[in-house]
Amino acid sequence: MEFTCSVDRIKRLNPEKVRKILDNDTTGSFQLLDVRQPYEYEEGHIPGAKRIPLSELEYRHEELDRDKQIITYCRSGHRGMAASILLCGLGFKRIYNLDGGMLNWHHEVIKGIPEERPELITGTEEVGDILMLALALEKGGFDFYTKAHETVKDQKAAEMFQTLARMEEQHMKRLYERYSQLGQDMVPPIEQLKAEAGYMEGGIKISDELVKLGSQELMDDFEALEIALENEYMSYDFYKRVAELVSDSEARKLLFELAGEERNHIHTLLQQLEEPRGDNSYNDR
């Protein structure tokens, strides 16, 4: 490897530009690369980011797709720039750096270190398999919000969870219609697919989330929206990550599309968050 790249050859992107790119990237053309240490990533990372610490990048760079445009980031921007220069020297062509790193990022983050290969994904899935998985996860979200509606004591929070449950049900119906259009010989009735789900959006277990919900002493409609936002961000992160693991190109395309839908849901919830105690009705998403 030859270090033939200089700082001047790496384009810096401000946080607003990066967020705009993420909002409009419906085909997975960009790859976010977090080069911090695992504990930093766990404390909060940008949804959809792949984690490769800078110290491991030289021998793990083959995990990155050379056809994608790569945006590196770290805590303050310096390690991210070092990673960009390293990748440039390894022959990567379209590399950018998040200017100022996470210290300059004032948008969404999610916590924790997700599984490298979630148990819900084998990598051999086709379009029909992905639609069935998405249906199951939407049903999981519906179950969670329904149970939350029955659990919380605050009336406004209960109403908000009920509204969120209806939203998940509507999305599930649209996914089912799309699945039915594949021309499968045997399409299970939607009621059969509504069997009890163990997972919800983001591939997280419903039981774990309900335990967290029950441990909260205060709950209102604002907090219910925040919980929904966390779930949607995790779902967006899940679809973006597993798209990199699926070999079928059409299934991968669908996963990026589903990630885009989750980001649209996030924007809808953010709009509601600005006026949390107004009209709780949502437009059909």
Here the CATH number for the domain that contains residue 19 is 3.40.250.10
My answer on whether 141 and 270 are in the same domain is yes
Most confident of the ranges 39-43, 112-116, 233-237: 39-43
My answer on whether 30 and 134 are in the same domain is no
Identify the residue with better confidence: 116 or 259.
Answer: 259
Q: Is the pLDDT score of 162 beyond 70? A: yes
Task: Name the residue range of residue 16's domain.
Answer: 7-104
Reported as a pLDDT band with limits 50, 70 and 90, residue 146 is confident
The residues annotated as belonging to the active site are 74
Amino acid at 205: K
Q: Is the pLDDT score of 278 beyond 60? A: no
**Residues in CB range of 259: below 8 A, 6 or more apart:** 28, 48, 236, 239, 240, 243
**Residues in CB range of 30: below 8 A, 6 or more apart:** 21, 22, 68, 69, 70, 71
Reported as a pLDDT band with limits 50, 70 and 90, residue 282 is very low
Question: Which pLDDT does position 211 carry in this prediction?
Answer: 44
Q: Is the pLDDT score of 87 beyond 90? A: yes
- Contact (Cβ atoms closer than 8 angstroms) between residue 160 and residue 282: no
In the chain, what is the straight-line distance between the N-terminal and C-terminal CA atoms, in Å? 49
Reported as a pLDDT band with limits 50, 70 and 90, residue 17 is very high
Identify the residue with better confidence: 174 or 218.
Answer: 174
My answer on whether 147 and 242 are in the same domain is yes
The whole-chain average pLDDT of the chain stands at: 83
Here the CATH number for the domain that contains residue 241 is 1.20.1260.10
- Contact (Cβ atoms closer than 8 angstroms) between residue 284 and residue 170: yes
Identify the residue with better confidence: 75 or 221.
Answer: 75
**Domain count across the chain:** 2
My answer on whether 43 and 162 are in the same domain is no
My answer on whether 141 and 252 are in the same domain is yes
Please report, rounded to a whole number, the percentage of residues in the chain having pLDDT higher than 70. 80
Identify the residue with better confidence: 260 or 119.
Answer: 260
Reported as a pLDDT band with limits 50, 70 and 90, residue 1 is very low
